[in-house]
Amino acid sequence: MEKLLLERAGRIHLNRGGGCRAGSSPGPGRAARSSSPPAAPDLGESPMPMPLLKVRPEDFRVTEVLGLPTASRAASTHTYLRLWKNGVTTHEALGGLAAALGVAAQDTAAAGLKDEDGVTEQYISVRGLLSDRDLERANAAGRSPGGDRIWRVSAHATGTAALRTGVLDGNHFQLVVRGLDEAAAAALDEGPGRHQHFFVNYYDTQRFGVPGGPKQTHLIGRALLAGDEEAAFRLLRRSGSAEGARALVHEGTAEEFWRLLDPRVPVFYRCADASYAWNAQVRALLTEVVGGARVAHMDRDGIPYAFATARDVVPALLALRPELDYVRYRWTDGSCVRSTAARPTVLQTHITVSGVGPDELHPGRFAATISFFLPSGGYATTAVHQWFLQMFGAESATREDAAPSQDGANPQDGATAVPAGSTIA
């Protein structure tokens, strides 16, 4: 079947630039999206444009999967809510919820961080037992961001503990891939409806910065770990994140600023440094195990990656080293706690293809709907990027030019090329 796909699709070029926004960056950190969809990429003589993700928020849907123990209201200390959001990060929604309810930010919690540029649903917890009136007040606040930036909550259940990272089962994704040419659309339409896919479990680019901004969350974290709060503050001011915007107007010292934040935010930056180090480990391992023409080396938004260009390469990595240790940081009992855990080097999923047809937003091009499940910690767009790369070969990663939008905006400010990363804890 792989041969059939290659014959149908010919040479497919993917753009490897363009940042992708995910909830794993702590703040909104960007201007509002343009209402105009990007134009189909102009690739001259190239037979295949780069696939586009997130042309519209509803093109990227994420539903959290979590087995959540509950208790009777009489025995409970926490309320569990279902958070629906579009255009805001999980951190931003939690902050708005806490402010609306008049509770401390640390009284709200989530099991994972969800993408900003999409329609996402997840569970959150709030200390205390909330009433219907509390939820009405919260949802009034959730409508206040305006435009397509909105969130709302609904009651789910009650229980005896706050949510925490590490308990999430995973996420289900339903994505629309746009801008395909006829050969690629035919390959997807006439190929199998369900694809088994192994991919390297990289932290994707949104882990390291917001769209259009420098990818430097790991550098901020590294400075914090070194005790240099002033250097971390200077980097943060240039980051384009929500915290960066606050830092730009802060009139006190760097030390005072970091103490003003929800303590989970500085912990996020420390985790980003650990994520960068883990990526380097698995990248070196893949290069050592395979190397040669079957590994494509790329620098995307300043973050280096190495990807397999054939389907049999990644299972070989899995057989050799199924896990690598990584360092993680958590805010626990009033302090930042460092620990070590194992992270899978490779993830497996099944990608279902449906709805292949004309792309109504890009005349002459085609779109396809794909859906799949990833365990906690997996990034959806690195899965999709590697899937295309393995199907269509190394040449799919060679193109450098980015797709302009209709209003001339950078594609990082709207639709995103498949190679840029996205999601999600």
Same domain, 212 and 181: yes
Three-class SS of residue 54?
coil
pTM value?
0.80
Same domain assignment for residues 188 and 337: yes
* In a shared domain, residues 264 and 403: yes
Amino acid at 327: V
CA atoms within 13 A on the CB side of 265: 24
Of 159, 184, 206, which residue is a domain's last? 159
In whole angstroms, how far apart are CA 226 and each of 219, 220, 252, 375?
A: 10, 10, 21, 32
Q: Minimum mean pLDDT among 65-69, 90-94, 256-260, 421-425: which range?
A: 421-425
Instruction: State what percent of residues in the chain have pLDDT above 70.
Output: 80
- Characterize 334-349 residue by residue with b for buried, 16 or more Cβ atoms within 10 angstroms of its Cβ, and e for exposed: eeeeeeeeebbbbbeb
In terms of domains, do 298 and 387 share one? yes
Q: How far apart are CA 323 and CA 342, in angstroms?
A: 6
Contact 168/317 with Cβ under 8 angstroms?
no
> Contact, 224 vs 385, CB < 8 A?
no
- The answer to the question of residue 423 being in a domain is no
- The residue range of the domain holding 148 is 67-159
Residues 216 and 362 in one domain: yes
Query: Helix or strand or coil: residue 249?
Result: helix
Residues 245 and 351 in one domain: yes
Both 244 and 377 in one domain: the answer is yes
Band (126; pLDDT cuts 50, 70, 90): very high
pLDDT of the residue at 405: 30
Active-site residues: which are they?
A: 115
Q: Give yes or no for residue 385 having a pLDDT over 60.
A: yes
Type of residue numbered 275: S
* Tens digits of residue pLDDT in 183-211: 889 999 998 999 999 999 999 998 998 87
Distance CA 346, CA 323 (A): 8
Question: pLDDT tens across 168-177, in order?
Answer: 899 999 999 9
Q: Report residue 199 as tokens.
A: 């991919």
| Distance from C-alpha of 132 to C-alpha of 96, rounded to nearest angstrom | 17
Q: Are 53 and 384 in contact (CB under 8 A)?
A: yes
- Measure the CA–CA gap between 247 and 241, rounded to whole angstroms: 10
Are both 111 and 181 inside the same structural domain? no
Calpha distance 401→406 (Å, rounded): 16
Nearest to 334 by CA among 165, 106, 113, 77: 106
Do residues 38 and 404 lie in contact, with contact meaning Cβ atoms separated by under 8 Å? yes
What's the chain's average pLDDT? 82
Q: Are residues 13 and 108 in the same domain?
A: no
* Tally of structural domains, the chain: 2
Indicate the residue among 159, 191, 222 that finishes a domain: 159
Q: What DSSP designation does 397 have?
A: G
* 173, 110: one domain: no
Phi-psi region of 359 (alpha: psi -120 to 50; beta: other; left: phi over 0): beta
Reported as a single tens digit per residue, the pLDDT across 213-225 is 899 999 999 999 9
CA distance 81 to 83: 6
Whether residue 395 lies inside any domain: the answer is yes
Q: Does residue 347 fall inside a structural domain?
A: yes
Query: Would residue 190 count as lying in a domain?
Result: yes
- Residue 341: predicted pLDDT: 93
What is the distance between the alpha carbons of residues 421 and 418, in angstroms, rounded to a whole number? 7
Question: 239 and 345 share a domain?
Answer: yes
Please indicate, yes or no, if residue 404 is contained in any of the structural domains: yes
State both tokens at 253. Answer: 């010292």
Separation between Cα atoms, residue 368 and residue 359, nearest integer Å:
8
Q: Is residue 424 part of a domain?
A: no
The last residue of a domain, from among 132, 159, 186? 159
Q: Which token pair is 169? A: 């089962």
In the predicted structure, residue 14 carries a pLDDT above the cut 50: no
Look at residue 361 in the predicted model and tell me its pLDDT: 95
Which residue do the tokens 């909330």 mark?
A: 130
The reply to whether 381 and 243 lie within a common domain is yes
Which range is least confidently modeled, 116-130, 244-258, 268-282, 389-403? 389-403
- Least confident span in 141-145, 268-272, 307-311: 141-145
Region 331-341 average pLDDT: 91
* Contact between residue 232 and residue 224 where contact means Cβ atoms under 8 Å apart: yes
Kindly report the CATH number assigned to the domain that includes residue 80. 3.30.2350.20
Distances (CA, A) of 39 to 52, 93, 287, 360, 404: 10, 31, 36, 11, 7
Non-local CB neighbours of 312 within 8 Å, separated by 6+ positions? none
69: helix, strand or coil:
coil
Residue 343: beta bridge partners?
324
**Among candidate residues 276, 217, 7, the one with its CA nearest the CA of residue 91:** 217
Using the 8-state DSSP alphabet, how is residue 346 labeled? E
Amino acid code (one letter) for 311: R
Tokens 């079947």 label which residue?
Answer: 1
Q: How far apart are CA 317 and CA 39, in angstroms?
A: 38
- Tell me whether residue 425 is in a domain: no
- At 337-379, the pLDDT tens digits run 999 999 999 999 999 999 899 999 999 999 999 999 999 999 9
| Within a domain: 291 | yes
